[in-house]
A and B are shown apart, each in its own frame.
Chain A
């Protein structure tokens, strides 16, 4: 393993390093930040890392855009990049946009109902509701708060 860990190995796998850095940054933000909007931003970074993994996967050294020439005469020597991962990611980007806008819409509604978008404040409000319920209906176990 140590023998393989050369400069070429590091530079040659640059896209994977960046993928891992972005992925971990995104996940860290989702877990560590208490602000709901920041969580969504983290989720976006996390998803973007995956887009990068796929797109860099489709790259073929020296390859050009995989579009047929207008005259449909295909030169067998021309190398094309692999379009499939790119198309897959087009779908994943759309899914990502839908998730983001739905997440933000939920945040807008949460702010209207709870008056805050900070997680610890929301938890406190929920704890108060749960405490009131426990008083009314008896103690319960488990739950989010």
Chain B
């Protein structure tokens, strides 16, 4: 899409904003609608938009496929790891009360923040991975023929 000047300029402006918004949705998720799922998708949209406008190759330079796969796994591990920590503190699996024994509400606050971070990372990874997986297949029709 070399010739679409407006698209390219707008995209450059938007990508940063989208990522910022993703972080807002992510970390405000415990007070307002939002959280890991939504933030992850928004974050992924930033990379996918970049890939669509500036070519897959450039997107993969910013966010290489191997890193995407590791992030998917890392997010799940953060989620499960939170539960394991509470398990070793003598609480039930995923009982966030463990993080602040005298104020379980505070513990739940920390717990959900970490868990949602894990969810966000995994969802970002999965969405980008799905995009890479489909976009990286050799196309039947080249771009110019459209």
Inter-subunit contact A65/B130 (CB<8 Å): no
* A-facing residues in B35-52 (Cβ within 8 Å): 37
Interface size, chain A (Cβ < 8 Å): 9
Residues on B with beta carbons closer than 8 Å to the beta carbon of A70: 31
Inter-subunit contact B33/A67 (CB<8 Å): yes
Inter-subunit contact B37/A94 (CB<8 Å): yes
C-alpha spacing A70/B130, complex, angstroms: 37
Complex interface bits, A21-37 against B, C-beta within 8 A gives 1, otherwise 0: 00000000000000000
Inter-subunit contact A104/B37 (CB<8 Å): no
* A-facing residues in B94-142 (Cβ within 8 Å): 130, 133-134, 137
Chain B nearest CB: distance from A92 CB in Å?
12
Question: For the complex, is A105 an interface residue (Cβ under 8 Å from B)?
Answer: yes
Residues on A with beta carbons closer than 8 Å to the beta carbon of B37: 90, 94
Inter-subunit contact B137/A101 (CB<8 Å): no
Do A101 and B130 contact each other (CB < 8 Å), given the known contacts A90-B37, A108-B137?
Answer: yes
Residues on A with beta carbons closer than 8 Å to the beta carbon of B133: 105
C-alpha spacing A13/B137, complex, angstroms: 46
C-alpha spacing A70/B133, complex, angstroms: 42
Residues on B with beta carbons closer than 8 Å to the beta carbon of A67: 32-33
Inter-subunit contact A104/B134 (CB<8 Å): yes
Provide 12 A-B residue pairs closer than 8 Å at the C-beta atoms, listed in order of the A residue.
A65-B33, A67-B32, A67-B33, A70-B31, A90-B37, A94-B37, A101-B130, A104-B134, A105-B133, A105-B134, A108-B134, A108-B137
User: Which A residues form the contact surface with B (CB < 8 A)?
Assistant: 65, 67, 70, 90, 94, 101, 104-105, 108
User: Which B residues form the contact surface with A (CB < 8 A)?
Assistant: 31-33, 37, 130, 133-134, 137
7 nearest interchain CB pairs? Answer: A101-B130, A108-B137, A105-B133, A90-B37, A70-B31, A108-B134, A104-B134
Known: A67-B32, A104-B134, A105-B134. 8 other contacts (CB 8 A): A65-B33, A67-B33, A70-B31, A90-B37, A94-B37, A101-B130, A105-B133, A108-B134
